[in-house]
Structures are given as C-alpha cells and as structure tokens.
Structure 1
C-alpha cells in the first residue's frame, strides 16, 4: 500500500515539474517571438528639405531601425537625426524626450551654419559625424576614393610630357565660389600677377576651352569640359569623373585652397590633385600634414610670406624634374608609395568615402546605421565636445602682400560672431526645453546684439 502511495506521489511530482517546464518554455518562446515581431527602434530625420515621404526599415548588421522623416513620429523616436546644412535656429524638436538621442551629420565648413562650431550648441548632441577626427563617425578622408587611387598611375603624366603640353601655364584653378572665409580668391588674384594661372570655373575665370589649341585626341575631352562648365552640370557628383581628371592631370600645379581653415577640414581640393599626380598648392586645415601621404606631398601656402614668394618657388620647381617629382613619391616610389601610417590606418577603418557603390554605401545610409547602433548599444551620457567640430571664431586666411587682409574677411568675422551669439541662445532655449518660434529667436538675438551681450 505504501509503495503504491509513493508511486503516485512520484508521478505527481514528475508531472508538476514537466508542466512547470512546459510553462517556462512557452513563456520564453512567447517572449522571443515578441522580440522578433516587435517594431524596430525608430529614428527621425528632423528636416524640412525632404521633398518626399521617407520611411525605411534599415538593417544595420544585427541591428534594425526604422527611419522616417514624418514629424508625427517624434514621440516614438529614440533618435533624432539632423543634417547640419539644413538646420534652422527656430526649428528644433522641443520639448525634447528624455530618452531621445540627438545625432548631427555635418560635413561642411561653418560658412553655412555659423552656430555649429560652438560648445554651447554641440553639447546637446550625443553622436556626431563631421570632418573632425574626434567625431563619432569621422569624415576627414571622405573625399579620397581609396588608397589605390593615390598610388595608381592611371592619370599620372611624366614631367617631360607636362612641360610639353603647357609650357607657360602650369597652374590650374577650378572654383565657382568667389566669397570664402579663407580669402582664396584674393590670394589667387595676387598670384596671377606673377604667374599665369588658368582659371576655368566661375571664380576669376580667365580662360575658355573654346580658345585652347588642342590636339585631335583631346577633342572629345574638350567637348565634355565645355558642357561641364558652361552648363554647370552637377559638379558635386562629378568631382572625380575620368574626363575631368584627365584634363586636370596635364598641369603641374593645382590651387587647393579650402573655403575655410578648420582642423581636419579636408576636401577634394587636396585629394584630387594627389590622385592625378598634380602637386597641390594648399591652404586650409592646420592639421593637413597629419594626413598627407608622405612628408613632402604638397606645397603649403603658409610656408611663404606672400604669393610673390610662392611664385618664385613654383617657377624654379617647374624646371627641376628631380625636385618636382619628389612631391609625387606616392606615384613614383613603387616600394613604399605611402609612408604615413596614420593615413593608412584611417583609410582602413573609416566608415564612409565617396564612390562607395555597395548597398548601404551612401553617406546618409552609413550615418543612419551608425546612429542606429549607437541608440541601441551606446550611452546616452556621451555628449559632443568642441573638438567634434573645431573651427576658429576668427577665420584664418591665406597670407597676402604687406599683410593685407582679404576683402571679405571682416564680413566673415561678423558672421561667425553672430553664430556665437546664436549658439548661446540655442543653448538656453534647448535647456529650457519648451517650444519657441522664429520671432522669439529673432527678438532674443536682436536684444543681445544691441546690448553687445554675446560673449
């Protein structure tokens, strides 16, 4: 009798354990299914420049995010994405959700958005992607297609051939913007007094391809260039078009002066002449030598007191093949073309560069995925600091004769001073965390400017 009783007790215990196990498993499976079917983390582009409804589910490795530009989704958004050149001082999503991460994508200099460089504004962002090496997703080398582009001989022209093609005009200037913080147009104007500079862009244009004497094999190239400049066809998407590179490669020097001088702000102005075997005449980023392929890769404007001194050096260099080619060791040194290990390391680990045609290779898609991963795995306590977008309030400019200042430098200083005031106001408004409008911001800015209360 006792054996039967013990048997029944044992069966009941086993049955209970089995039922409990089934219950736990069902809960786990239910929970797992719930995770699989739950909505992905939502990100919102805060921009009015989208001319279309944007709503995409993006797979970023093991992470998934839904990205939209529909402002009605702001309450559900874990991350808010801003494109720097599209930001307006009176258009920020306030009040701000406690769990929302703000992310900034801004590859341009401060000429378009002068309040960005200031800490008072930057510290409200948890994630940045800028030209600075210190940002979360640096874009310092974005305009360099690849390491192979630097070493390739595809567009390289030997010294002797360059001397035959353009014996008098050895410098090319290709620019449409004639109002820059760096005083680029003033510097080139002065340089033109001492050397012939072929300028084909809208700025300081002094040459027309229709007037050039060209060989028959160049006819197709000339037709392309005429269309390119006369019709201004989508220049930004043709920075490295083969036709353009072939044309520019015939020159010995190329003006490579940035529109602003900020640490790590390096555009195609520097990389493109290196790619085609032309020596850049560079002014811009004060950290540029950290990024050059070798210790001698460019001629730096700051190494000369004025354009006349530079012209004297360029004239002598153009006649010395050995010395000239010493600037092109990234093309000519087959054993060790690039000695800059820092540059090679950054090229290997960078997240974005132009010309990436792979799925998800565009700048915006790369940025979206980087923010997606940061929102899911990163810390909300991390904030941007001044090095994430580092530009001086008083813009440096290329040195002119007798220390003369560029024509527009005073105007640009004023613009950046206003930007500093805007940043301080934005800091207060964002901290206040309540909505405001354009008139509110304008009134506060006028008050501070009138009272000289921006410092």
Structure 2
C-alpha cells in the first residue's frame, strides 16, 4: 500500500512538471515568430546616471569629437558653427539688410517654413543670431536681391531659370531637402543641366554652403549627473514605424516584411493596417509614442540623409531608433553615442529581432538612454510644427560665409546618386 502511494506521488509530481512545462510552452509559444513575454510590465520611467563629473574626462566623447572634426573638406563658416561648435562671429549688422528672393515657389514652401502648417506666418528670425534679412517672392526684385533661392524639388528644368540678364554680384543658391534620388521628384531632370549656374548649395549635408539638416546633435556644456526619464512605453509590442510612402530605393519595406517574420511590428499610416495617423509631417502621430523602438528607415541610402524619422519619431518621442539610410560612419559622427541600433550591424533581420528580444527581456535597453546626460538633439526642419531654421540659415550664411566668387561648374561632383548613395538592402 505504501509502495503504491509512493508511486502515485511520483506520478503526480511528474504529471505536474509536464503540465507546467506544457503550459509555459503554450503561453510563450511564438505566434508567427513573436516571442515577447506578455507578463513583463510596461516601462514607466528609467533613471540614468553619468559616469563622469566632467564631459571632457570621457574618452568615448573625446573620440566622438575627434570624429566630428574630420568632416569633408571646405566646410563653410556656417557649417563649422553648426557641426564643429565654432563660435559665431560677433556681427554688427547696423542698418545693413540682405534681401532673399525665393524664385517662383515661395508660396509653396512658406506653409512649412514660415507658417509651420498653421494659418499664421511666424517670424523666421525670432530665434536667429542675425535678423536683418527680408524675404520676398516678387520677380520685380530679381535685379536687387542679394540671394536668389531656387527650390529644385519644384523645378521642371533649366527653362525655369530667370530669362533676364543676371546680376553678377548676386548669389544664386539651390535648395533641396531630398536625397539625390529624389532631387527633382520623378521628373527627368539632370543636375548637370545646371552646371555653372549656382554659387551656393543649400542641403541637409554639412558641406553645403547653407546647411539645413533635419536635426542636429549638440554636446552639453556639462554632464547632468542623474536624470529620470518618463517613458511610458508598452512591452507587449516593441517596434513601430509610420509611413505612407510605401516605396524606397533601399528596399526598406522589404526589410520590414522580413523582420515581421520574427517580431511583431505595428505599422501606422498608408503602408500598414493602422490608419490612426496620416503618415505625413504636417501632423504628429501620438500613437507611436508608446513604443520602445522605432524603425527610422529612410527612403534612400545616401550620405547624411537622416530625417524626421529619426530626429522626431524616435529621439523626440524617447524611443530607440533602429536606423537604415545613411552610411555607418555618418551615423557615428552625426548622432549621440550609443543612442541607436543600425541594421547594418546585423547579419539578417532575424538576428536583429533576437537582439531586440534580449534588450527587452534583460533591461539592457537602458544603455541606449545614457547619452541623454551628455547630449541633446535639436529638430530644426519645420515638420510636426517643430521650428524651421531655413530662412535663418540663409541670413546667417549671408553674414558669416565668405562671399568671394564661387560657382558649381560640375554639380554631379557635389550632388549625385553615383557619388553620394549606397546599395540597397537585399534579402
């Protein structure tokens, strides 16, 4: 009788263990590759502490600064101020004023850069170090304007240039906020049509005469010793992306589809099932605020092409960006240390997914917030009602830059897909 009872107890124990294992397997069984533990609590806040009393004692930051100081040759004075933290010159503007003519398409760009998608024009120089500049769209000022700005995204070709004889003392500058793949939208216009036309460039790149990056990284004057970040991030779905442009020369959406096989991704906008947000930078998308990781995938893999997908949708919303687009070295010198995850560092989307799971389960994601004690990031492009600095930068360039005669004789040497862009991701 005692032996029977002992066997029954052993059988009961074995049965219980098997039942527990089976239950665990059911509870945590991957659903279409998803392996997120549903019982982990949401992330409300995180404490981060600086390891150094003085930023200058941090060897990693010293290396980062050295990397920043090895930029492309021939940075303009404004470029050195914005990217190398040089001091702004003490300019006495007096009664001097510069006139900026936006050729033909001024009304097209003011909605973003002057109105911030509102009904009211803002003063574009309200937070600018120089203010003595006037903006005009009137063709009648063609002879007298100090700088004429041509928005290449709107132009149909060289026939859009002024027909009148050119003022030799005038600066002609071209503007593009897009990568070389999309400079003229889908129009069959070539950059070399404009060889010998422009004196200055105005792009997101640091080596432009008038740099207008979507965002910037700034090193703080002094480390903040301890910061509590309020995150309010969900832990059931870790990754999101917002988009209504479902293309991209870099096959970014192919990467998203492959990554979805291994981890759940909530897709907002026209390219996914979640239509809460429009997927355009006119209107912010609060729905993506709750995710720990954001896929900051650009539409082109081109040098320094780092847009609001990172600066706003990730950094501003306190999410960790997973990046695709610019060159690896660009990200290293343009972004805060240890603040992002680069798809190029992983052999496949499957390996990336496993890395995300590990960060989530172990709490190692906290390492991607430590940069906030030493760095800050600035949004400067006018998207989602952030402030636009486009006209401020033109005014600063007119006051700060060397204005000796310069002409882009071969524009492809400065701006081209062949020179500036890199191969697409290929599954």
TM-score range, shorter chain: 0.5 to 0.7
| Residue pair 2:215, 2:379 contacting (<8 A) in 1 also | no
TM-score by length of 1: 0.56
Question: Which stretches of structure 1, 4 residues or more, deviate above 4 A after TM superposition?
Answer: 39-42, 51-54, 57-66, 114-120, 144-148, 150-155, 350-358, 382-391
Task: Call closer, same or farther: CA 1:378–1:181 in 2, change over 3 Å.
Answer: same
Match of 1:68 in 2: 136
| Structure holding more helix per residue | 1
Asked if residue 373 in structure 1 is aligned to residue 406 in structure 2, the reply is no
Aligned mate of 1:84, from 146, 152, 162: 152
What runs of 5+ residues in structure 1 fail to find an aligned partner? 1-35, 209-225, 339-343, 402-455
After the TM superposition, which residues 285-296 of structure 1 pair with which residues of structure 2 at under 5 Å, given as runs? 285-286=326-327, 287-294=330-337, 296=338
Write out per-residue CA displacement over residues 288-311 of structure 1, whole angstroms, 9 at most, x where no aligned residue.
1112211x2211111123322222
Task: Call closer, same or farther: CA 1:112–1:303 in 2, change over 3 Å.
Answer: same
Asked if residue 320 in structure 1 is aligned to residue 320 in structure 2, the reply is no
d(CA) in 2 for partners of 1:382 and 1:263? 22
Q: CA deviation at 1:64?
A: 4.7
d(CA) in 1 for partners of 2:391 and 2:420? 34
Q: CA deviation at 1:42?
A: 4.4
| Residue pair 2:296, 2:322 contacting (<8 A) in 1 also | yes
d(CA) in 2 for partners of 1:120 and 1:319? 55
Write out per-residue CA displacement over residues 38-59 of structure 1, whole angstroms, 9 at most, x where no aligned residue.
x9654422124637999xx999
d(CA) in 2 for partners of 1:380 and 1:86? 26
| Residue pair 1:131, 1:138 contacting (<8 A) in 2 also | yes
d(CA) in 2 for partners of 1:303 and 1:117? 34
Aligned mate of 1:197, from 265, 284, 290: 265
Larger radius of gyration: 1
Asked if residue 278 in structure 1 is aligned to residue 315 in structure 2, the reply is no
TM-score by length of 2: 0.59
Q: How many residues were matched structurally?
A: 308
| Residue pair 1:172, 1:255 contacting (<8 A) in 2 also | yes
After the TM superposition, which residues 207-218 of structure 1 pair with which residues of structure 2 at under 5 Å, given as runs? 207=274
Match of 1:44 in 2: 101
The Cα RMSD (Å) is: 4.2
Q: CA deviation at 1:145?
A: 9.2
Task: Call closer, same or farther: CA 1:298–1:116 in 2, change over 3 Å.
Answer: farther
Match of 2:34 in 1: none
| Residue pair 1:116, 1:122 contacting (<8 A) in 2 also | no
d(CA) in 1 for partners of 2:385 and 2:240? 30
2:150 partner SS: strand
| Structure holding more strand per residue | 2
Write out per-residue CA displacement over residues 59-102 of structure 1, whole angstroms, 9 at most, x where no aligned residue.
99788555422223323334321123222202112443333320
